[in-house]
Structure 1
Amino acid sequence: MSSAPMPPGQGSAAAAAAATTMAAEATEGRRPISIEELCFTTAMSCYEGWLKLDPAIGPRTMAMVTKFFSRTLEKTHNLKDVRETLSSSVEIWIWLTKDFAAAIPSLTTRSIGPLATLNDPEKGATTQESTALITKNYTSLKEDLQLLIKLMHIARNLLVVPEPEVAQDLCAAAQFDQMLYQTIILCVNVTSKAYDGDILEEGARLRLGEITELYKKLLVTCLQQAHNWIAKNDRNKTSFWSTVLFDDETAGEEEEANAGAGDFRPEVAKIEVQNWIERNSRVCDKARQLLIQYEETLASRGFLPGNLSPISPLSWNWLPEGTIRTRAGDEEDDAKIIPHWKEDEPDKFEQDRAYGRVSREVDTWWLKVRDPNYDGWAVPMPLVEFAKQRTENCKANLVNRYAHSYRTDEREGSVHSTEAPVPPDVAAEEEHEDGRAYSQDYNDDMIEEEDVDDDDSYGEGPMSGLLTEVPNILDPKQIEALHMIVKSCILDNAGLALTRAGENLQKTRCRMFLALECGRSLLREILVFIAVWEKNEQSLIFQLTTQIVEAIHHSALIPYAWQSLRIPKDIISPAQTVLLRLVNNMFRARNADPPSPDSKEHLRDVKLLHFLFIQFRSRIVPECAALMHLQEQILKGKCDPADFPVDTWDMERAKDGLEQFLELLTTVNEVVETREYLIEWEAAYELLVLLGGLEAGVAKKPLVDLANHSTNEQTPDPSPSETPINNQRRDDEDSQHPPPPPPPPPPLQDPAHKFPWSDIKGKILHILAGLLQPPPGQSSPGNPTVQAQILHHQGIVSLLNCCVYDDHNRYARERVQICLKWLMDGSDAANNFLRELVAMTPPPELRPQSSAPAAGGQLSPAPAPTTSLRIDGIGGEVKVQLRSPSGAGGGSGNNGSTVSRLANKAGSLALPSLASSTAALLVDDLRNTASNNTLPPIQSSPAQPSTTTQEARNRSAELLRDIITLADEAARLAMGRRIDADETEDEDFM
């Protein structure tokens, strides 16, 4: 804790004594020191006294300490030679360690209570107690945090030198890295508390916020220093990884979590990693000389700052030979090592030395959990028949699925799992022809236990790992160093040298990252961070996270990561959605320069796509289709809306995940080689299932809704002719008969069962259009395999249904026209289907009634008949009067016939009113514009083909004009505008 102010004389005397001591030490047979080194070490020695109250330092001395810190920081920023001098000083690193060792207990006591209570939740300070401590010690905390931030900045700068390995080794020898870890823990403990500033008065709230921001700034600087310390240093990377990933407090939970995921034993892996660090504990020659020189010239004589710690695995580098046992390997021996595991070796260190690699436990775990198709196609793609059965099962069990909580069973970690329940009676039906039961490979069981808290699956409560809380504390600009640390530890850079045992240490650390619960938790928080802050593809955070995902992909662990990010309640969790987005970004970068089809990189990408499409087929589409099916039942009045099992928030998460899957398929579809895999896997089936589900379960949103317009009409303003007397009389009447209360405002959003799944249709149609493209190098016909798939799954009706305007899916009609063009191009079956639709004989037409004789023998005109039409893009029915067939009033005799055709084809093939007529337009348009592979003329008889073709064109043109006219008039009516005077008088909207 900071000392009470002392008289100026005492403080100055202490500073002078310290400076004299340092100067005397400089002349005792050691290397000459610079003025910057002398001033900085003197200031740090005084600061340690300030923190420990030994000796007591006064304010004037502390003012000089602050001044020296500021000057040193400025010089290390700007002067390369000062950085090099200070970074190679053993005393500097020891004093930095001593200052932080004194500061951490002091800051802890003044911020969150005594240090001894940190690991005891019952004795630790509550949020209110911590708030009171911080506001009480505001002044001293602010001073010390500002100084510690400067010290950490200096430590960070000292690692930016031409020979960083020297400074890195001196930092590790002085154990400053351990102080770095402790400082990060303190900053996380303070800044992660949910302080309630609303209960404080304004001044206290501002003080609390200022101290919290200083802790965040110190945390950011710690992360930057850690990144510089591990840069291009495999021993430091592994040491840092071991410290932040092996959390002793979660050891028991780790064993339980990994019971079904390769039987990983973290306690064994931790020992093996520590043994590897000890075998590789030799520091560089220059650092070793500096350490030996310091011990012989200063530490052995009792001068400050004292001896280096002898407990470090590195201590043998500077201690006299024979003082401690040396078990480090000989770096000069570059002979290759063939890993050999001696099962009966009693000495664990020697057993690990013979193996040569970092950890056999990690290697064994990876062999069990990596993509099962890593060495070959061990897991085939489920067939469409399997997908159909899954969809039916999900529809039948939808309500039951969400009625219970979940507990992940011991098979959840399997990369084969698709995480959806399958009744036992259908397990036999899911057996593939190769004998593998998909119920075993692709599904896990649901355990219905009411006492399981589903909220645990959302990551609430304390999270394991030193760095896991950091994404919840820092903003995107502050957190960059964390992502750079993870990337630096695991990304497999091209041309990276292997160890003597043939090991890629970057890949080994990547496997450690996912093998341990702390690493998986950190990965989840890093992914969710992108969603919370809505980072785009151009941001540095997004690019760094993409590289992290690329590293996981290189180790064939994205399937395992996918399962570890699962939330049982969700169809797809937010972290999985972001992971998909990053994979899509990775694939999109490949499209700019596609790898060779026979390359290892291409095969690795295809296997990842294979796994993700299994998830799409086995889980995502069936469960989304089940939700759409229930929406359809509610829309038809067959189910109660109260039975809908999820809320709008859950629907949004499902839609976001589905959307990212479709984005990924769109990216894959752009490359011919990967498109062929989608065609081979019959991806058109899933897309048509989704189209059908959306069509049946979601009502189309019109461009203009007549019903809503009529209810929202406002009462016209009173005319200017009304007098004040009339107004007063009307006010008196209103006071006796008050108007009814206004209707309640509309809800902010529709209920979950009316969730629209906006823009999904457009993405599906875009993928289908890509799949239907002609083979490479050809302009026509369309892809015959995909054409046959769409016809087999009765997809033409689903496509035609998308022709009707839907404001939830704008431009769907334009996309479906492209699909239909390629579908009909060269496909006789598709052409025959559409011919039957267009040539269908309509029911008898509605015609105006003939005139009847009136009294006196005069003919009186009969009232014009009316009919109701549903117009594309217009909500509700529009009533129209039919024109006379004789053309009275200047109308065209063909229009009545055309309108009736438009009305009477509404029920054809269960299509909306406009879909069948749109098919006729498409047929005619394709016939007129396409090449030699276009449709032949639609003929009613073999004779006179040219006349028949011309008549068909005239009919289509008239139909199109009538559609446009009716839509235009209905829209003007809905907007409250009168019909223009130039319209025909015998045509009137009711």
Structure 2
Amino acid sequence: MASSPLDQGTTSPTTPTPSGGEQRQRRAITVEELSFTSAMSLLEAYFQHDPAVGPRTMPYVTKFITRTLEKTHSLREVRETLSQSVDVWMWLGKDFVAALPSLETRSIGSRLNPDNGMTPQESTALITKNYVSLKEDLSILIKLMHIARNLLVVSEPEVPQDLCTATQFDNMLFLTIGLCVNVTSKAYDGDILEESARHRLTEITELYKKLLVTCLQQAHNWIAKNDRNKMHFWIRTLYDDDAMEPPEGADFRSDIARTEIQHWFERNSRFCDKARQLLIEYERTARENPKDAPGPLTPHCSDMAWNWDPENHKIRADPADDDSHIMPLWKEDEPDKFEQDRLYGRVSREIDLWWLKARDPNYEDWVVPMPTVEFAQQRTENSKANLVNRYAESYREDTAASVHSVHSNDYASHPGHSSEEENRDSQHYSQDYNDDPIEDEDVDDDESYGEGPMSGLLTEVPNILDPKQIEALHMIVKSCILDNAGLALSRAGENLQKTRCRMFLALECGRSLLREILVFIAVWEKNEQTLIFQLTTQIVEAIHHSALIPYAWSSLRIPKDIISPAQTVLLRLVNNMFRARNNDPPPPDSKEHLRDVKLLQYLFIQFRSRIVPECAALMHLQAQIRSDAASAVEFPVDSWDMERAKDGLQQFLELLTTVNELPETRAYLIEWEAAYELLVLLKGLEEGVPKKPLVDMARPSPPRPPQHPSDDYDADNIPPPPPPPPPMQDFAYQFPWAGIKAQILHLLAGLLQPPPGRSSPGNPKVQAQIIRHNGIINLLACCAYDDHNRYARERVQVCLKWLMDGSDAAQNFLHELSAMSPPPNLRPQPGPDGQAPTTTMRIDGVGGEVKVRLKAPATNATTTGSSSSSGGSVPKTGSASAALLNIAARKAGVPLPSLAASTSGSGSGGQINTSNTLAPIQSSTTAAAGKGGGDSVRSRSDELLRDIITLADEAARLAITGGHVHGQLHHRADEDETEDDDFM
């Protein structure tokens, strides 16, 4: 390969002169390789001070390294040449071996004395003291890691991947990641430093982060399309040597699994042929001419040494020419563990056994049915009764019980199980609430939230890097576990991607890393279009392929939360996954569709058995406090806990809305009677949260502070103190659950849609469910304006359209309202001075009461009034609010405020307020008869729409006037309203 000096950017072959005799000739090397290896040899001496490298030599070393980095970026032939040089990989490893102890000593002290570790303050002082040398050395190491990363981007990546492993540079990679994490994760207190010291600390920390990012990028290239390297990376990052002994009674014996994985490494330790040949040549040169090589190959795993020294190492790898498929065979009585694992053929039997216990119990058959509505009702009542006690004490989290809290192999019954079995099943669903309380001092809330020391090499990385820096970590996890279509299986028929995914959740370090990856999305508020969100969705997809989302859900649970932040993000990702399915749905009889339905069933069980009962219990306590039946001091959680509960509930409703879009999956929600939970939440919100007006007339503006200072302040010429700031947020018991009601109404409207292929009537099953659970009352209660849930009234009208259309029971309810006689119409009585009276009234969307002046009609007052009062004519306008009030009370079984009781007002004589009302709802027959013979009869749809709108009007006015009327508003019965609203 023709070349010229390095400055010209080309290379030339060089053959060293033989020293005489029969000495073997070395391979030809290029100028780039010679220059780069020479610079790295000087760099090793610089870090080790043997020999001492002066300040005039280091600029040349930096120059050669920088030039090499530039060429590996732009020239493919340079990357190809350097990537297949064992000397280059050896020198890279030796430089990091020399540099890492020096960096560690100058940054955080030595790890040789773990008991004498430095405090963050001491480490800060050490870093600022060594600022200059740390900045120079970190910059060089970043360039070296960049070069190592570039050398893996070649046409035959398996060659440098194997050389990297053989020369132990992968080990240096892990040690470098560990050092970067240790330095950047310390809680440095920069506020106590002066400006220059703070700047130095920040600059060094950013350099460590940059080195960490480059290490992750190099690791991603090292494991690309290489199952052995992926497994090796997984073992190094997921196994914590400090926690190798599994707890007694653990479902997963990590020590046994590690032994079995090590045996898998031995069976799969064969390098590619080209890499083996390069290593054999290098080893021969290192033995014959030690001065011509950086040093002998001493792998950290001796099981791989046979690749370059087969004479001195036992070969236990599978034959290269044997690609026949094998049937896994487990011999329990086999004394040789390696032979036992070889016959089994798969990575680890311990991992396989764990997965059989941890996967969704419905993986093969439907063994876990959906809890009944009766169970949900009982669960809600229990949650209301035990709400305060549940939060008053902390509860012990039993890992085994929490993992199988809802899905359990013990909970298996047939479709026709008896009522006794149903009661036993209900006890199963509630077992995770029967944990024994423990003392407060034994509970570490910080640890439950993933704060403080965390196990695993990569677990802290999401807390260190920002979204642009962390992309390599997500790409690594995705590359290790995502089951891509067309992926080749092992000889034993094993999907290694799925096996690593199971390891991911079986090991505590993997679960911790998953939690931090999920919380990262919430902390940085990443949306669905960002790369990080899309990568994390693919990670969740991989977990779903192994039927382990139920296990992940349970492992992410925090006892003090209804739903943890990590669980909320997991729901967002699952929702994103289902939304993609809606664009290209799998066939209903496919394995993919069935797998999705089983996941949906598990999540809805959580919704029914935990989320809704506990949220409803909080709303119930809010309602008690609102009605003065309970004290505000009894509310057990703070605003942050309420916000987390609302976020989780919101994501559940988003998921159900996405599922509701497809008729195939909507049928499952209807079958599970999802409308019940939605109505429970609607009722809880209506009772516990007051509606927020668009304009609040009841709340006066705070008085302004005096413009002139007091005498004392005049003397000292000091301005008066400013008024106290307004409170940052309302109390937790006043939490509004904003937006939840609108989501529920949108979801109910979707459930009420006609079956596929029809435009009318509404879904009869959902109509029956809503009527059975008194849902019309809950819907009508949402008609009044609420700024917490804008456009709720319009959503209610859509729900009522589908609810009334085709439902005899709903129509009967509607006609029962229209059959009620309106109260007699009253006209305003003039005051003593002959002026029109004034009164107060409530207006939808306006908080408080508004003063209005009423004007009597200009003509025919006496005649019309006599006709109305005598009962000789039927009034055209009246109030259906009283009818709605009475029927609602009867059907719901709860007392509602009575308009008849609200009769206090100025100048009204205690008359009933019939203001702000529309005509009573009429049936289509009555309306048609009132038009005369020449008019055509309205269509059923038009009449139904008019009835719905009128009913919504009446419900809104009932909500704003019931129990709050302080005056009367009178108008003529046979003419339109003519009052002038003069706001006082």
TM-score range, shorter chain: 0.7 to 0.9
Contact 1:255–1:266, Cα closer than 8 Å, also in 2:
no
* Aligned-partner Cα distance in 2 for 1:581–1:770: 20
Question: For 2:458, which of 454, 462, 467 is the aligned residue?
Answer: 467
Q: Does 1:592 align with 2:583?
A: yes
- Structure 2 residue 517 is matched with structure 1 residue 526: yes
Identify the residue that residue 97 of structure 2 maps to in structure 1.
Answer: 101
* Structure 1 residues 937-952: aligned runs within 5 Å: 937-938=925-926
1:773 is aligned to 2:753: yes
**1:255 corresponds to which letter in structure 2?**
P
The correspondence for 2:504, drawn from 508, 513, 519, is: 513
Aligned counterparts, 1:809-848, within 5 A: 809-848=789-828
- Summarize the alignment of residues 472-621 of structure 1 with structure 2, pairs less than 5 Å apart: 472-621=463-612
Q: Secondary structure at the match of 1:707?
A: coil
Deviations 1:712-744 (CA, angstroms, capped at 9, x unpaired): 587999xxxxxxxxx99x999x99xxxx99975
Aligned equivalents of 2:946 and 2:323: distance in 1?
A: 86
In the alignment, is the contact (CA less than 8 A) between 2:69 and 2:146 conserved in 1?
yes
Residue 53 of structure 1 corresponds to: 49
1:293-312 matches, within 5 Å, as: 293-303=281-291, 304-312=293-301
SS at match of 2:109: coil
1:199 aligns with 2:195: no
Aligned position for 1:400: 389
Per mean C-alpha deviation after superposition, the further-off stretch among 27-36 and 783-792 is 27-36
Per the TM alignment, residue 807 of structure 1 is displaced from its structure 2 partner at its CA by 0.5
Whole-angstrom distance in 1 between the partners of 2:690 and 2:305: 76
Quote how far apart the aligned CAs of 1:869 are: 2.7
Q: Does 1:339 align with 2:328?
A: yes
Change (3 A) 1:742 1:231: closer
Name 2:73's counterpart in structure 1.
77
Q: What residue number does 1:29 align with?
A: 25
Check 1:217–1:410 CA distance in 2 against 1; reply closer, same or farther (3 A cut).
closer
**In the TM superposition, what whole-angstrom CA distance separates every residue of 1:164-222 from its partner, at most 9, and x where no partner exists?**
00010000010110000000000000000011111111111111111111000000000
Cα 1:671–1:323 change in 2 (3 A) is same
Q: How many Å separate the matches in 2 of 1:986 and 1:54?
A: 98
Aligned to 2:766: 786
- Partner residue, 1:238: 231
Match of 1:212 in 2: 205
Q: Which amino acid aligns with 1:379?
A: V
Change (3 A) 1:294 1:882: same
Instruction: Pick the aligned partner of 2:182 from 177, 182, 189.
Output: 189
TM-score normalised to structure 1 length: 0.85
SS in 1 for 2:594: helix
Matches of 1:392 and 1:961, distance apart in 2:
33
Matched residues in 2 for 1:347 and 1:307: separation?
33
What residue number does 1:901 align with? Answer: 879
**What amino acid maps onto 1:606 in structure 2?**
V
1:291 correspondence with 2:272: no
Distance across 2 between alignment mates of 1:153 and 1:949: 81
Matches within 5 A, 1:921-932: none
| Structure 2 match to 1:750 | 730
Q: Deviations over 1:723-767 (max 9, x none)?
A: xxxx99x999x99xxxx9997553221111010000111111111
Who is 1:801 aligned against? Answer: 781
1:659 aligns with 2:650: yes
Mark the CA change 1:387 to 1:803 in structure 2 (over 3 Å): closer, same or farther: same
Aligned identity (percent) is: 67
Superposed displacement of residue 840, structure 1 = 2.4
Moved more, 884-893 or 68-77: 884-893
Worse-superposed segment, 936-945 or 697-706? 936-945
* Aligned counterparts, 1:831-980, within 5 A: 831-849=811-829, 864=836, 867-884=839-856, 887=859, 901=879, 907-908=885-886, 909=888, 936-938=924-926
Which amino acid counterpart does residue 47 of structure 1 have in structure 2? Answer: L
Aligned position for 1:367: 356
Partner Cα distance (1:875, 1:546) in 2: 44
Alignment match, 1:324: 313
Contact kept in structure 2, 1:903 and 1:913, CA below 8 Å: no
Q: For residue 901 of structure 1, what is the amino acid of its counterpart? A: S
Give 1:302 shift.
1.5
Contact 2:264 2:347 in 1 (8 A): yes
Q: Distance in 1 between matches of 2:796 and 2:915?
A: 11
- In structure 2, what is the Cα distance between the partners aligned to 1:891 and 1:38? 115
Q: What does residue 281 of structure 1 align with?
A: 269
Gaps of 5+ in 2: 1-13, 409-416, 870-874, 890-895, 900-912, 961-976
Matched position secondary structure for 2:73: helix
Alignment CA distance shift 1:471-1:958 (3 Å): closer
Q: 1:596 aligns to what SS in structure 2?
A: coil
Deviations 1:756-790 (A, max 9, x none): 00011111111111100011111100000000000
Deviation at 1:878, TM superposition (A): 2.9
Post-superposition Cα deviations, 1:670-721, rounded to whole Å, max 9, x if no partner, equal 000000000000000000000000000000001111112x44587999xxxx
| Inter-partner Cα distance in structure 2 for 1:695 and 1:279 | 65
In structure 2, relative to structure 1, the CA distance for the partners of 1:822 and 1:913 (3 Å cut) is: farther
2:177, 2:919 → 1: CA distance? 66
Contact 2:761 2:806 in 1 (8 A): yes
In structure 2, the CA distance between the partners of 1:965 and 1:111, relative to structure 1 (3 Å rule), is closer
Q: From the superposition, tell whether residues 773 and 237 of structure 1 become closer, same or farther in structure 2 (CA, over 3 Å).
A: same
Is the CA contact (8 Å cut-off) linking 1:581 and 1:664 kept in structure 2?
A: yes
Given candidates 151, 155, 158, the residue that maps to 1:162 is: 155
Q: Deviations over 1:358-410 (max 9, x none)?
A: 01000000000100000010100000000000000000000001001121125
Give me the whole-angstrom Cα distance separating, in 1, the residues matched to 2:467 and 2:756: 43
Instruction: Report if aligned partners of 1:405, 1:454 keep a CA contact under 8 Å in 2.
Output: no
Count matched residues: 906
Offset of residue 115 of structure 1: 2.8
In structure 2, how many angstroms separate the alpha carbons of the residues matched to 1:964 and 1:679?
29
Q: Any conservation in 2 of the 1:491–1:550 contact (CA below 8 Å)?
A: yes
Give 1:514 deviation, angstroms: 0.2
Deviates more, 1:331-340 or 1:837-846: 837-846
Q: Does 1:452 align with 2:442?
A: yes
Report whether the alignment pairs 1:43 with 2:39.
yes
Equivalent residues of 1:707, 1:875 under 8 A apart: yes
Residue by residue over 1:531-582, the C-alpha shift from the partner in whole angstroms, topping out at 9 and shown as x without a partner, is: 0000010000000000000000000000000000001100000000000000
In 2, distance between residues paired with 1:480 and 1:890? 82
Cα 1:919/1:91, change in 2 over 3 Å: farther
